[in-house]
Chain A
Amino acid sequence: MRDRLIKQLADLAVNKTRLMLWIMAGITLITMILSGGMSMTPKWSDMLPEGDKRTIEFDRILKEFQSASSIIVVAQGNEADIKAFADDLAPRVLDSLTIPGKDKDPAIYVRRVDYKADLDFMKAHGFMLMKEDVLKNMKDVFQDPGLAGLLTNMNNSFEKEYIQPEESMSNREEEDGALIFVNGINDWMEAVGHTLRTGSIRNSDAEAAVDKLLLGEPYFLSYDREALIMNLIPTFSMMDAFLIVDGTDAVQAVLNDVLKDHPNVQAGLSGAIAVGRDEMYYSSQGLEISIGLSFFLIGALLFVAFRMAMAPALALLNLIIGLIWAAGIVAVVVPVLNIMTAMFMIILIGLGIDFSIHIISTFTEMRAKGLSLEAATLAGLQKSGGGVSTGALTTSVAFLALMIGDSRAMSELGLVTAIGLLAVMVSSFVLLPVFLVVRERRYAKKRIKKGLSAEEAPRDLTLKPLGKVGLFIQDNPWSSIAAVFVVTILLAFSARQITFNHNMMDLEAEGLPSIMLQDTVQEKFDLSMDFAYLVSESVEESRELRKKAKELPSVASVEDISMFIPSAQEQAERAPYIEEIHELMERAQVTPIRPQDLDRIRMEIERLEMNIMEFQSMAFLGGQDKVYARCTEIVGSVENPPDVTVFSNIYGLFDQGPNIVTAKLNAFQDAYADYFKASVLQMANTSPLSLDVLPESIVDRYASKDRSLFLTTVLPSGNIWQDKPFMEQFANELESVSERTTGMPVIMRALFEIIGRDGRNAAYLTLVLIFLILLLDFRSFKYALIAMLPLATGGVWMVGLMQLFGLQLDMMNVMALPLILGIGIDDGVHVVHRWRIEGPRSAQVVLSSTGKAVLLTSLTTILAFGSMMFSPFRGYASLSYALIFGVGACFFTTIIILPAFMGLLDKRK
């Protein structure tokens, strides 16, 4: 049947050339239109099985919660500069924005900007949000707003807090709390120092110092106060693939514009959307570079190999048309490509060009031998057609075997590549002979015009050296087999030692701005952006989840709506303390400072300094680096006693004379005391906190659009990428809290498991299917087995060589293992086919002719995959290295093992 089909195709190519060209042009036009519907998604979750609960939950979160898709602005510089930059940028990004370089109407891309705590809400309900024991400890601070009384009460409270040091500083949240306390005191003392120096203080500065003392820093500043985070909530979500790029680019343009007014600030975008945009941009850019480069390199190789310009041009033209057909069909079957499936084009280039090479190779060989156009077309298709069709079939089956996996990463890649491969094979059988016929006729016309014979003189286009290698191995089969055996054993040992790199960040583009900023955030804010999410249907459920998650060892902190809505019982327990604070503050009278109060004030300031020194000392022993560092900035350290601190400044200013100091301190007290009293009275509000009372900015952060669902965000305490056991611990612990846990750590853990399992299963199935196809094709168990031997050996060599060259397996290159089964088998298939056609002891002929084609196809595949080495997306480069080793290994095992078997088996005959 195959022979009949091949004859018909050869006949059509020679006798119905024009008709065939028109039909192919029509098909190409239709598929080109269809291919326009193809798009790409940057979400790793889209590689999980379609019905996976983690993916469904993740998509639901992205759809329902505005805050789950955010653009993070990270600004760096000194504190005042970055705050000014943030204040400038915030209103600008909320305007209608234009996309640079695109002719689109301005649109609103950012719904809300969160970069400061909601001070109004905190002032209205601040005490109700404090824990009962904190209120109990701190209530005495709020009984006297006067400077002397306030300092005394702060010290009393500090010492009370101090005697529970381990409780206060036992985890990250508590360490953060300690820092807020210390920072508030520092800013307060700086305000005192400023007034003592200048004699006055602006009310706004005094009020800001009060706010920091009572409520902490409103801006989202890093621990070293040199970086600031802004959270931009976009009008689109991670689900909108096109808006991710447009929206991020529009925001980036505004950011660049604002930066011009703040030359001392550096800022960039990060967060899920910016990373998604960068991944799409760089992976697309990487693919474009790879496709262009592979076309160029393959063209150059073919030009050298065939010693004529038209052969590579025709091969590439056929390939391009095959790819258009493939893209059109794929766009219908899998319209949205993920990061993995997006590279199917590169695979098709690497493998699809092989079909053209085999057909052109045999066709030109036949023509060079002097066969007529019709006879050469037929002979070319007949001699290469078996190998091409079986090779295409085995490779396609190998890819289709990936579909047994659950993960979309593998199953979709398998499907689209198999479809694409068959499309390119069809174009190679149908279209390429037509091109060759057209080319030969035009060439003949030119020769006739020049007065030459229409037919070229016979030439030998075979690769003689490879033939000689084949002959040598055929004559020395045992030594060749022994050499292969030894190398295989050694490389098998090496292969066993290969390790798996779970760090997905190593697969991203190096220097990716958004990823680098993630590292900055991790370093400066000690904050991982790889959250896990839990969803609940009520505030109470959310509170329970938060409580459980907080107890998990792998959890650094948990954020949810219940942080702003204490339980009814908690509110009832806090109310008496709040009422007491209210009562104390209402009764409090601020009396002017007298000169005789100065000693007490100075003594209390010294006591405060000592409290901070002791706090610092405990922080050093407790390994609380951030608290220790901040305290050291404020009071210096034993090893490096500072020349000047905020406290030593104040002590020096006390020497101005009692009347002057008294007047200045009264100026300070007058500036802040009434505001302090009013603020405390406002905060001492026992009205119940509920969802209805919370401001939109807080509710939007944690509740779904219709307020029926609530989002709990869980931050890991370690680096999930560099520590796989930790990633597993984090995911497992969270799954023990809620089965609906999702987010990057959970998704990636699942992806590792599923892809590992799918890859293994697909590899087993591929081996079985390939063997069955070979059995059907060769109708011989012996030849099927021999054709598979180079592949089996090549697979071992591939992994062994990867390990020897210091490569690790990773999420991307692990795909090369099942892929190489489909790709590597072709070499053996072609050589065995030709061997059976040429007869016994034909190693020299087979290798010089088919061996040359196999070498060329291996080189083109290596060039195609090798072009991915230059992709900025390191995942593609990693896959590229693995496939280069695999294809190279399979070529060498083919040209060494098969001639040896030819020698052994044919000798017996």
Chain B
Amino acid sequence: MTTRIILFVLLSFSWLVAQAPTGTEIINRVTEIMSPENSYSTGTQTIITSSGKERVFEFESWAAEKGKSTLTRYTKPAAIRGQAFLMLNNADDIWSYFPRTKRVRKLASHAKKQKMQGSDFTYEDMGGGDVFQTKFKSTLLAEETRDGELVWKVELLGITEQDPPYPKIILWARQSDYFPIALDYYDDNGFNSKSLLLSDIQMIEDYPTAMAMVMTDNNERSSTTMRTLEVTYAWEPPEGFFSERNLKK
């Protein structure tokens, strides 16, 4: 009898241990590992222009407050060297600096929902923070294998009152470290309008980091590749770094 009770307790315990986390728990962890407090990186962004040519930009980017504040400065090509974008409050406020005219201009507040610099990313896609936690309700849909990895498939449904960037997102996060490897974005008509694939995931200073991101617009059948060349999470923002004044430097 005693043996049976011990076995029952052990089995119950193991069942409890093996039970999958909830969608909310997964998204909390995803947000946590995707939002290091601060970061500095360099990278490239490849877009296709309106006449079908490929154009590659190189940039430096700084982020703080888990991605709520970011500053991106383009370094190549010469046509836009020095042009910079400052995004505060999860891209609610966006400023741009033009080195040729030495002027700073504020973009309209609705610009965050629009395509960023000819890419398939919106300003909002690039804004970090706790958007998944605050603007979506998450539900675990399934455990499955994707690209040879065990993943959780989570559905994020937008909370209308919170003005979510998309009505629905399906996210696949690795079970091993909660890092998302794919996201499908849905539009108001329920169409999978965009898909983001994260690859070449490397562990950098304790944070899994996707060195390549490809956003595909399934409507326009176009895609944008963002490649990280260098990244550190040990960067500390100096006082007033994310300011209009610093944007001009």
Which A residues form the contact surface with B (CB < 8 A)?
Answer: 159, 162-167, 170, 172, 175, 526, 553, 610, 613-614, 617-618, 620-626, 637-639, 717, 726, 729
Contacts and interface: CB of A to CB of B under 8 A. Distances in A.
Contacts of A726: 221
B79 A637 contact: yes
Contacts of B47: 623
Given A167-B111, A621-B118, A625-B53, 8 more contacts: A162-B105, A164-B110, A613-B100, A614-B105, A624-B49, A624-B118, A639-B78, A726-B221
Listed from nearest, the 8 A-B pairs whose CB atoms lie closest are: A623-B118, A166-B114, A553-B219, A623-B49, A621-B117, A610-B101, A622-B118, A625-B51
B146 interface: no
Contacts of A172: 50
Nearest to A632: B79
22 contacts: A163-B107, A163-B108, A163-B111, A164-B111, A166-B115, A167-B111, A526-B50, A526-B51, A610-B101, A613-B98, A613-B100, A613-B101, A614-B98, A617-B98, A617-B100, A621-B80, A621-B117, A623-B48, A623-B55, A623-B117, A624-B50, A625-B51
B79 A639 contact: yes
Nearest to B48: A623
A165 B80 contact: no
B83 interface: yes
A626 B53 CA distance: 12
B220 interface: yes
A164 B51 contact: no
A610 B101 CA distance: 6
B29 interface: no
A35 B55 CA distance: 60
A175 B50 CA distance: 10
B114 A620 contact: no
Contacts of A162: 105
A617 B78 contact: no
B49 A625 contact: yes
A638 B78 CA distance: 7
A166 B110 CA distance: 10
Contacts of B219: 553
B114 A170 contact: yes
A159 B57 contact: no
Contacts of B48: 623
Contacts of A625: 49-51, 53
Query: Most chain-B CB neighbours within 10 Å: which of A166, A613, A626?
Result: A166
Nearest to B77: A639
A728 to B, nearest CB: 12
The binding surface of chain A is classed by DSSP as helix
A623 B50 contact: yes
A619 to B, nearest CB: 9
A598 to B, nearest CB: 22
A620 B80 contact: yes
Contacts of B74: 621
B1 to A, nearest CB: 68
Contacts of A526: 50-51
B108 A617 contact: no
Contacts of A618: 96
Interface of B: 47-51, 53, 55, 57, 74, 77-81, 83, 96, 98, 100-101, 103, 105-108, 110-111, 114-115, 117-118, 219-221
A541 B50 CA distance: 31
A719 to B, nearest CB: 10
Given A623-B48, A624-B49, A164 B83 contact: no
Contact of A626 (B50, B78, B79, B220): B50
A622 B51 CA distance: 12
B49 A163 contact: no
A620 B98 CA distance: 12
Contacts of A613: 98, 100-101
A617 B83 contact: yes
Contacts of B78: 638-639
A616 B98 CA distance: 11
Contacts of A614: 98, 100-101, 103, 105
Nearest to A726: B221
A618 B98 CA distance: 9
A621 B57 contact: yes
Nearest to B49: A623
Contacts of A170: 114-115
A23 to B, nearest CB: 66
A469 B129 CA distance: 83
A555 B49 CA distance: 17
A626 B202 CA distance: 39
B60 to A, nearest CB: 15
A704 B34 CA distance: 59
A621 B108 contact: no
Query: Most chain-A CB neighbours within 10 Å: which of B55, B74, B79, B96?
Result: B79
A175 B79 CA distance: 20
Contact of A553 (B53, B79, B220): B220
A621 B73 CA distance: 12
A175 B118 CA distance: 12
Contacts of B51: 526, 625-626
Contacts of B220: 553, 717
Contacts of B106: 163
A143 to B, nearest CB: 23
Nearest to B53: A625
Nearest to B102: A610
A673 to B, nearest CB: 29
Nearest to B85: A621
Nearest to A723: B221
Contacts of B77: 639
Contacts of B98: 613-614, 617
A621 B83 contact: yes
Contact of B111 (A165, A621, A626): A165
Nearest to B193: A553
Contact of B117 (A610, A622, A637, A639): A622
Nearest to A610: B101
A785 B105 CA distance: 82
A591 to B, nearest CB: 30
A620 B106 CA distance: 18
Contacts of A729: 221
Contacts of A163: 105-108, 111
B79 A620 contact: yes
A634 to B, nearest CB: 14
Query: Most chain-A CB neighbours within 10 Å: which of B55, B74, B118?
Result: B118
A626 B118 CA distance: 13
A617 B105 contact: no
Given A638-B81, A639-B78, A165 B50 contact: no
B16 to A, nearest CB: 48
Given A553-B220, A617-B100, A626-B51, A165 B107 contact: yes
A122 to B, nearest CB: 26
B118 to A, nearest CB: 3
A617 B80 contact: yes
A625 B55 CA distance: 11
Contacts of B81: 638
A166 B79 contact: no
Nearest to A172: B50
Contacts of A624: 49-50, 118
A37 B60 CA distance: 75
B102 to A, nearest CB: 9
Contacts of B108: 163-164, 167
Nearest to A635: B100
A516 B50 CA distance: 22
A363 B118 CA distance: 78
A700 B100 CA distance: 48
Nearest to A606: B101
Contacts of A159: 105
Contacts of A637: 79
A304 B103 CA distance: 87
A621 to B, nearest CB: 4
B108 to A, nearest CB: 5
Nearest to B45: A621
